[in-house]
Structure 1
Amino acid sequence: MNLDNIRIVLVNTSHPGNIGGVARAMKNMGLSRLYLVAPRQFPDEQASWRAASAGDVLDAAVVTATLDEAIADCQFVVGTSARGRRIPWPLQDPRSCARRMASASATEQVAVLFGREDRGLTNEELQLCNLHLNIPTSADYSSLNLAMAVQVVCYELRMLLDAGQLPASEDDEWDAPFATRDNMERFYQHLEQTLVDVEFLDPAAPRQLMTRLRRLYSRVRLDEMELNILRGILTETQKWVRKAQPQDVSGASGAEDYTPKTK
């Protein structure tokens, strides 16, 4: 994918603030080519203010009088559409459409068209497109701000670009090895003895307490550092229990002494 070959085209934008918002959304995701077809107000201070640190995208924006001028050199054109058409046209969601655009952008010029804030693109403008893109929304409120719509499309392109750099799972870049089964069993024994020491667990009527605690910690997948922290807490708890007991029974619990190996 070549983001430099993908342009965002805004048609007859009525509010300059929306142009600035679009510029900011584009820069967030690494796109820089903005085309403005007959904007109502541009350049404008509101556009610059809304763009925040994306002023360079605004400064480089290409303003054209007609849509034909904006897409004349493009080989693949996508039009955003919020409603069904009498004559069906190839239609995809942003994720599927992003894959098509990414593939085309490797060797072709790609344009993504966004229409007017109040009524979108006309039928004639949509007929200039190779593909229509529809952003799924709730039926209760389907109206999207222009910058939001651009952000959704640019985000899907960004995700494709960064796909190989992101961790494949939430555990790929963990900072400590996960606890072994043997160490987990030692932790459960330590936990059970501590709960007995603080009189939270009655050995004569344990019910299902330890089973439920095993289920709880199994869902989490503790790493060795986290396990050390928990066992350290248990050890300190047992020390306070022993201090509170009469001297002649202070060692009666027989609990395993444990020194946490935390950094």
Structure 2
Amino acid sequence: MSPQNLNPQETSASPLDNVRVVLVNTSHPGNIGAVARAMKNMCLSQLYLVEPQRYPHDEAIWRAASAGDILESAIVCETLADAIAGCQLVIGTSARERTVPWPMLDPRNCMERAYQEAAVDHQVAVVFGREDRGLTNEELQRCNLHVHIPANPDYSSLNIAMAVQVLSYELRMAHLSGELSSNDMAEWDVPVAGADDLDRYLVHLEETLREINFLRPEAPKKLMTRLRRLYQRTRLDEMEVNILRGILTSTQYWVRKAKMKDDDGSNGA
């Protein structure tokens, strides 16, 4: 490419550097290589692999063609939680409706949203599931948003590299447009909480709800799923998470103190 054809945005640090592609439990190493190639085509560079079944592998290198650098810098993780740690926006790819619906966007609108966040230095993860069955419900519940590629309903199955190519292209087009719509958290006074911070809060919340006897066997089904959806949709900042966890800690303190008092009274009787 001649210098005069270079987009000015390519010469400096790009918001695309804040976007990571996460592949969960990929079974075929060739697909990993093909994903690396799709990413490099669209100027993405961060590849995270969660428990790949066969990697490293020669076929991954062969399928990557000239995108071997993407594979060399790929980060292999044991869990999805590790792969999305520190991300303020997590997007899961979904091919079917769920019992508890989640915010669902089409590729163009979703990647425009992702780019807006990346442009204000938020870390963004786009998560892709297994070749044969995608992401589990539990994995999808770790995501703020879901994206669905509206393929032919009579033949909707996409190879994982194809799916990565579609979403990477939409990210690239958002980047080249040079226009950012308003982001209501761009000038926020405190950083948006990362996925790991929110997950720790949700674990703390469930623990507290059990201690106060709110979360019981007879409680509505999928109660924690709906609470997770609420907080994923709300986009808490780091201070808000700390405040909420402080409330939970105080609640636990008084509940435990009351239980100790009751136990002492029972022993005395």
TM-score, normalised with respect to structure 2: 0.60
* Cα distance in 1 between the residues matched to 2:100 and 2:80: 22
1:147 alignment partner, one of 152, 161, 172: 161
Larger radius of gyration: 1
Q: 2:81 — aligned with what? A: 68
Structure 2 residue aligned with 1:160 = 174
Q: Residues 67-124 of structure 1: CA distance to partner in whole angstroms, max 9, x if unpaired?
A: 1110111110000000000111000010000111011112210000000000000000
- What is the DSSP-based 3-state SS (H/G/I as helix, E as strand, rest coil) of the residue aligned with 2:47? strand
1:52 to 43, 56, 65: 65
Q: Where does 1:63-142 land on structure 2 (aligned, <5 Å)?
A: 63-106=76-119, 107-142=121-156
* 1:157 CA displacement: 0.6
Q: How many residues were matched structurally? A: 165
- Which deviations, in whole Å up to 9, do the C-alpha atoms of 1:173-225 show, x marking residues without a partner? xxxxxxxxxxxxxxxxxxxxxxxxxxxxxxxxxxxxxxxxxxxxxxxxxxxxx
SS in 2 for 1:159: helix
1:163 is displaced (CA, Å) by: 1.8
In structure 2, distance between residues paired with 1:9 and 1:61: 10
Give the deviation of 1:164 after TM superposition. 4.4
For 1:1-263, what aligned pairs fall within 5 Å after superposition? Answer: 2-106=15-119, 107-164=121-178
The 3-state SS of whatever aligns with 1:10 is strand
Counterpart CA distance in 2 for 1:124 and 1:157 is 26
SS in 1 for 2:116: helix
SS of the equivalent of 2:139 reads helix
Aligned Cα RMSD in Å?
A: 1.1
Structure with greater helix share of residues: 2
Task: Tell me the distance in 2 between the aligned counterparts of 1:164 and 1:93.
Answer: 20
Taking the aligned partners of 1:80 and 1:54, their CA distance within structure 2 comes to: 23
Structure 2 counterpart of 1:91, one-letter code = M
Identity of aligned residues (%): 66
Alignment partner of 2:81: what SS?
helix
Moved over 6 A (4+): none
When normalised by structure 1's length, the TM-score is 0.62
Cα distance in structure 1, aligned partners of 2:82 and 2:30: 24
| Structure-2 residue corresponding to 1:226 | none
Q: CA deviation at 1:139?
A: 1.0
The one-letter amino acid of 1:38's match is E
